[in-house]
Structure 1
């Protein structure tokens, strides 16, 4: 990226104005101004200085309201997740039993969702209070209303020199309408051709202007019904398994832990007849494919999980601007949103097993040591809808400010207070451990143990209850509503001054801006105390509280060095203070714009960025999680020797109870980025642009590796590594790791538990680098008799994506690494619109590159979907018909994916074709 040349050129040339005679510069500037047509300066995302050129040194991707409508998108999250630059896999509504199934986010260039900064009119949004994947803060984009969106700007790369923390992968700026004359009423209704997902959206927008006061406002109401997997015939059953060997789920399962084969199943026999009515009468006795025995189950069990959330939302917005005098304006705005989301994670979150409470036990009826599994009937014949999750999200974004010009000078100012606030109240009816254990098992037989080892407790299982279809009343008898409230806010006072003509250079005026700001932010995650105490069966929670202050100063300069060459430079200093600690970071950004002709722009940037320690990373309290598939290295080596084959060790697939907590010693995540590109517009109707970008991230946060800790523990306890190198159990490393692992070190029988729990915490260890190309082309063909045609093309491809998890680990090539799921290397979209009089139609297509198959050997895809819209305008009424995924394209078939739901739900959606009708009516105003 020629960093040194870029830095040297900009540093040297920005110093020239201060060495030159100001009087000479002003004289020359006046002469130059006479030859230059003055264009109105506008606010550009990524800069504090208003510019007359929209294309600058930084590549900005812009999607207008008109494009959003014509391409069929119904929400901000739909728009952003369709971007070719948003190629990273993320959790969302399709990710059953994830921590934030009720929220939506995106990953720019395959980077962490928390590395993208989201703005509304250039002001930051508060984090979503619940943690992404249970560990990190992020912004939810699902509740942003469409009614007032004017355009969406996406600015790739490091932008901390202007915006501060988080702007590593880029910035998403949602620009709202600033003025409106009259009123508009919009109604959109529709659904999905395969069922579910019916939605209605009503929007009212209006604006009024008086001599000195301008007002704009909106109201948006939205109702979205859910989509369940059982509503898609190709994944409503485990019999849809592509290997042709699908079998029912283990709804009613008894494991014999002393069987000839480990975990043999106890044959239920006629007991299955008692529960055959469950899941619509589809439960039956069947034999396990692996030869472990018989169980009762239904092939339809997994289909009862939602992949699109039930959503009801109401959003209001108002903004007013008052002209105090010719030089001063007062302004204020408020956006308020209430969003209720309901979803069901499915059978993976709606079952009971004896292992979590009673553990293995002896039952006299079976005559062996057993464990039980009972999946609740979540269909219409059972407790359908009773144990859904509810998230009620209330957000507001408000600001009050004053702006204007200082006297008759060139200095403008803007002073404002901004606050963004987000509250989530969640609840779900969940079984309580003690009550549900007693419901199925009763109390342990006092003083009794098993006849084999004299170690396991004895229970007389209530088999009539175990082999029954649990009714809603029964479910309520051992359950209670688990509720929690989580809250975040960010607020600040900002003062900015700008001068579009600080002084003159021979090529034109030098622009300057500076800001100072102070604010604070809060994160408060307060779940139901019973979750943290372990009283809720099969569930844990995250908790934490933290508040910190932050301060910043920044400056930016834009200088036309010659008639062809313009340089920009910005710098910012941020300081965060909390809990007796202080974090500081200086960031900068340099840019060059070279215009050898009016139609050609060559550009480049170099920037640094950071992310302040994550609030959850700092302040997360002790929060539980479960880690399956762990290897107990100490027990393997203790029992079988240091040379044991860990793949053959019987302790290589342990489920470990984990405890995650924050780390007040976290540091900033640091980043550098560079871009170099070209914009070519040979005619007013044709434009091309392409940019190469590179982002390098250091000190990325990871939880300390459980596997690494277990290996080190084994070395410490045995006094040597596997290779024989001595290890001192009293060394600081050993003392630290042994304090994090709670283990039963004195097993007295076969029920010894090995590892009781492991504590982990976040640390700054990882490195990541991405390099890619983003490109765009636009062409407008205007004809005399056939109307206008508009063609568009967008493309993004990753040339490199490397990741190093821990120091000393090998570098992982994420583009070829065999780890499912994997981001597509490239994405592209194209559109063509035809406008003829009041008639308009658009065809939009999106193509995703190949992704990794489930077997982590083959690839699947590419995958192409199409949206289409047709609209007709008569006077003040526009009628539209919109269809997304017109061809009803299903996710690519992956014959190696034998795990339900048999497709990559991170990269593809299973919604299918949608059809919407829309009517827009404009009335009032001076033009009507």
Structure 2
């Protein structure tokens, strides 16, 4: 290290230069790049302060200035557009998902629950509702973006430092803790295609007192945005016009015959004339190969693509220097948020098959079912805006602690408490009321019963094919209220010595951390969802808590000036129900610098994920396993499990139940990475890293087929190769006195495995161009080399990179992602162009044909959608010393995923892969930032 404390390696100077420039103002960016005293800093990925920014673990940093200049509107957007986020995600576009009002992210296509999310180094609270109905995850929407100092993203397994969940990586969202004076930010804008209007205002102020021994920061942020509706985009306002089949209307008024392969039959003598005014006057007669129905091709547009939101956050951080060696600190974050969305007309309908089943039409003698969607005219003058579902959540997290030093030892101790409450107000159709309404208004009295038990009616077809009278819709609809909650307590103590003893390469460092805490989860659905009062919708309750403690240590040893070895180990124990799940993890990292400008790095370690509270305590939910093979009874008839063709019990329908399982073990992973960082000159650095995961004991449910096959083996004294023991089989399969299957039970189990490989690359370059200012270039790249999944023991591994059918069924993601920025600064101006690149992904036709060699009879071929790149542009002008004006244009060229439409049918309302792409289009924002009170 040089005398001024700045690391002498060009490698470190180059990376630091990039960080300094990325976080500087417009004037500073254009000035000469002068080294600054860095000293020792703590970087996510190590507990020991150090002078080297690049070490054995790659860390990607997104600064507050990056967030501003690249046009990001939220923390969730920062992470979702990151090159490491190769996987598809559920969110506002995913109609009727379990967490449509939340915002998630993940890494390398793995579940969001495989990434550890931290705020100021402490674990975020889990969202009370479950991702995809079964998985615990973190909602990223409640973090005030204007007070974010930086976001540090640490890819790869990190459990030896951060414990459970850190299999894919760690994200540390670091909020500002000090400020000289104050700042007021006002921003507004919206989408040029319509909808999504947004207004955000935030203010922050720093306070200093007691001879500069006391420091406090208070930030308040408020934001309100309107939703984007499907009818506001050409791609989603109507059923697909560019598909491999002609466009057809939605079946909004449908009569079909269940005993004639569900053939459609037109029973309206006016042939849809009476309902032509529905959906804004777009309802017409639709003809398919299956028959005729009345419907609108535009009904698909009556759903939200992007949630509306109103949110407020208050954040405060403070510290007090008791003396030169001891400091008290505290911080608190409170968030109140209300999110609105609508799943659309596809989830606002009535059908006879769900309630009382098929009936017989007296006039024709045919078995029939009815289906009736509700148009905005049926609802009210405001239409679908009157039946918005609302997620209202409030959360807080408070930390109190102290830190100091004694000699070469630094110490800290803290206690954190957090709680997250969620109320989901969801549109509902009351079962008895809606069935009775259509029975009374359309079907009329029961005229008799057929020999096989079906009611006979003489329907009033005029009433069926007509708009609802005003006010009728409200007699059979309303809202349900689900309440859920998570809470967390965590005590943490750490001691660190950065100069434990001397080694040839420098001082060795040691850190030891002890943690203990508890957390709980409860999900209490509206009772009407559980007792059958709600038409077509059910829910699942669950509640539980766990306690845990952990001990972590890290030792950093610079064995030579060119060689540093870092070892870390951690022991975690979780008390879940009456069971203790414990796990030891470790990692060994190596940094080798053969010359000052070149770093070789690598790390090998283990990672894990403890059973989540939802995995352990989620309640039972029912389903029907149709087409099941009863291997045991087929065996009694002489059939072998490998050939049950002709067996009378080879196509059974059996009721099944799924649930959490308090006996689950931890998910485990072996993870290693290796890479190189090269900095030939002070203002250039390039890095490439390779990652490898082998994940075992993943949580999944045993299929009904696997369970029934296990029963055959157990009852016949043969080897059972499934994860269910013979005792499990006996407990989980119920038969009546005659031996007929009555019920099967498939709880969550540790049965799946995955293997992943990925390569990432990063590039940073800064060029001073004299009187023309300065240029900065940066980019990041991720390429998934391998991803294979074994759903259950004994199954073949599925290739999720090359098998499009498996990819669409199990996960949807891009093999390659990249992003980057070019910044130019001169005098009072800075301009940044940011790009986001999504590589080729399988088209829908490849899924339908289960391979890339499929050709549809229409002539459309299976294949891949081309790469997809969007650009954001920002311009910042420092109008005065304390006033900066900004304009941001996101998706400058108004890029849309409309090129995907040809591989979707003509009855699809969103003909694109909504888990990866969106049709929001161009957004324009203006912002004013005013700073005041600086000394």
TM-score normalized by the length of structure 2 = 0.87
What corresponds to 1:795 in structure 2? 781
Give the distance between the partners of 1:100 and 1:742, measured in 2 at CA: 39
Of 863, 869, 872, which aligns to 1:864?
869
Query: Residue in 2 aligned with 1:738?
Result: 733
Give the deviation of 1:186 after TM superposition: 0.9
- Per the alignment, residue 376 of structure 1 pairs with 374
Aligned to 1:871, the other structure's residue is in SS state: strand
Deviation at 1:239, TM superposition (A): 4.9
| Residue 631 of structure 1, aligned match among 622, 627, 630 | 627
Q: Which has the higher contact order (CA 8 A, sep 6+)?
A: 2
In 2, Cα distance between the equivalents of 1:345 and 1:614?
29
Work out whether 1:541 is the aligned partner of 2:539.
yes
Counterpart in 2 of 1:896?
903
Q: Distance in 1 between the 2:270 and 2:651 partners?
A: 33
State the match for 2:244 in structure 1.
Answer: 243
The reply on whether 1:40 has 2:42 as its aligned counterpart is no
- Is 2:392 the counterpart of 1:397? no
Match of 2:583 among 576, 582, 585: 585
Deviation at 1:363, TM superposition (A): 3.7
Q: Deviations over 1:524-548 (max 9, x none)?
A: 1111112122221111112100011
Asked if 2 retains the 8 angstrom alpha-carbon contact of 1:257 and 1:368, the reply is: no
Q: How do residues 585-604 of structure 1 correspond to structure 2 at under 5 angstroms?
A: 585-604=583-602
In the TM superposition, residue 269 of structure 1 has moved relative to its aligned partner by: 2.9
The 1:560/1:116 distance shift into structure 2, 3 A limit, reads same
Change in Cα spacing, 1:712 to 1:782, as seen in structure 2 (3 Å) is: same
Deviations 1:592-617 (A, max 9, x none): 11122332221111111110012111
Deviation per residue, 1:307-327 (Å, 9 max, x gap): 100110001101110111111
Counterpart Cα distance in 1 of 2:644 and 2:830? 65
Number of the residue aligned with 1:809? 795
1:683 alignment partner, SS class: coil
Equivalent position of 1:19 in the other structure: none
Task: Determine the structure 1 residue equivalent to 2:828.
Answer: 838
Closer/same/farther in 2, CA of residues 447 and 341 from structure 1, 3 Å limit: closer
Equivalent position of 1:555 in the other structure: 553
Q: Following TM superposition, by how much is the alpha carbon of 1:123 offset from its aligned partner in structure 2, in angstroms?
A: 0.3
Contact 2:144–2:221 (CA<8 Å) still a contact in 1?
A: yes
Q: Deviations over 1:291-343 (max 9, x none)?
A: x2221111111111111001100011011101111111111111100110010
Contact 1:84 1:827 in 2 (8 A): yes
- How far apart, CA to CA, are the structure 1 residues paired with 2:768 and 2:378? 57
Change in Cα spacing, 1:647 to 1:885, as seen in structure 2 (3 Å) is farther
1:354–1:641 Cα change, 3 Å:
farther
The 3 A distance-change label for structure 1 pair 696 and 208 is: same
The equivalent of 1:680 in structure 2 is: 678
Q: Of 316, 333, 337, which residue of structure 2 is paired with 1:335?
A: 333
Equivalent residue runs for 1:159-174 within 5 Å: 159-174=158-173
Task: Give the Cα–Cα distance (whole angstroms) in 2 for the partners of residues 893 and 652 of structure 1.
Answer: 40
2-structure distance, mates of 1:770, 1:125: 26
Separation in 2 of the partners of 1:141 and 1:379? 36
CA distance in 1, matches of 2:773, 2:652: 67
Shift of 1:575: 0.6
Shift of 1:584: 0.6
Question: How many residues are treated as equivalent by the alignment?
Answer: 865
Whole-angstrom CA distance in 1 between matches of 2:506 and 2:298: 71
Equivalence for 2:275: 275
TM-fit CA distance, 1:461: 4.5
Distance (Å, rounded) in 2 between the aligned partners of 1:650 and 1:233: 52
User: Residue 880 of structure 1 is aligned with which of 886, 892, 911?
Assistant: 886
1:308 pairs with 2:315: no
Which position in structure 2 is the counterpart of 1:764? 750
Deviation at 1:706, TM superposition (A): 3.6
Secondary structure class of the residue paired with 1:437: helix
Cα-to-partner distance string for 1:627-661 (whole Å, 9 max, x where unaligned): 8xx434459998x9979999999999999875321
Instruction: Give the whole-Å Cα distance in 2 for the aligned partners of 1:531 and 1:744.
Output: 34
Q: The residue matched to 2:619 in structure 1 has which SS?
A: coil
CA contact (8 A) 2:259 2:367 kept: yes
Q: Is the 8 A contact 2:378 2:468 kept in 1?
A: no
Q: Secondary structure at the match of 2:886?
A: strand
Change (3 A) 1:244 1:445: closer
**2:662 aligned partner:** 664
Matches within 5 A, 1:289-688: 289-290=288-289, 292-378=290-376, 382=380, 383-406=383-406, 409-442=407-440, 449-451=448-450, 453-459=451-457, 461=459, 463=461, 465-470=463-468, 473-624=471-622, 630-633=626-629, 659-688=657-686
Match of 1:826 in 2: 816
**Equivalent in the alignment of 2:924:** 915
Q: Unaligned 5+ residue runs, structure 1? A: 1-36, 747-754
Distance in 2 (alpha carbons) for counterparts of 1:431 and 1:895: 35
Secondary structure in structure 1 of the residue aligned to 2:903:
coil
* 2:67 corresponding residue in structure 1: 68
Residues 206-285 of structure 1: pairs in structure 2 closer than 5 A: 206-210=205-209, 211=211, 212-259=213-260, 262-270=262-270, 272-285=272-285
1:487-535 CA-to-partner distances (Å, cap 9, x unmatched) read 0122211111111112222332211111111100101111111212222
| Farther-moved stretch of structure 1 (829-838 vs 468-477) | 468-477
Other-structure match for 1:15: none
Q: Distance in 1 between matches of 2:68 and 2:243?
A: 38
Contact 1:636–1:651 (Cα < 8 Å) also in 2: no
Measure how far apart 1:683 and its partner are: 2.0
Instruction: Rate the CA distance shift 1:167–1:731 in 2: closer, same or farther, 3 A.
Output: closer
**Which residue of structure 2 lines up, in the alignment, with residue 924 of structure 1?**
933
Residue pair 1:440, 1:462 contacting (<8 A) in 2 also: no
Measure how far apart 1:113 and its partner are: 1.2
Classify 1:344/1:871 alpha carbon distance in 2 versus 1 (closer, same or farther; 3 Å): same
2:95 aligns to what SS in structure 1?
coil
- Note the C-alpha offset of 1:480: 3.1
Instruction: Find the counterpart in structure 2 of residue 25 from structure 1.
Output: none
1:124–1:420 CA contact under 8 A, matched in 2? no
Question: RMSD across aligned C-alpha pairs, in angstroms?
Answer: 3.1
Provide the C-alpha distance between the structure 2 equivalents of 1:847 and 1:199, rounded to a whole number of angstroms. Answer: 25
Asked whether the 8 Å contact 2:707–2:729 carries over to 1, the reply is no
Distance in 1 between residues matched to 2:909 and 2:646, nearest whole Å: 27
Q: Per-residue deviation at 1:871?
A: 1.2
Secondary structure class of the residue paired with 1:735: helix
Q: Secondary structure at the match of 1:868?
A: strand
Shift of 1:686: 0.9
- Deviation, 1:258, is 4.2
Give the stretch that moved more between structures: 645-654 or 347-356.
645-654
- For structure 2, the 5+ residue unaligned runs are 1-35, 847-851, 853-862
Alpha-carbon shift at residue 473 of structure 1 (Å): 2.4
Closer, same or farther in 2 for the Cα pair 1:686/1:106, shift >3 Å? same
**How far apart, in 1, do the equivalents of 2:652 and 2:434 lie?**
24
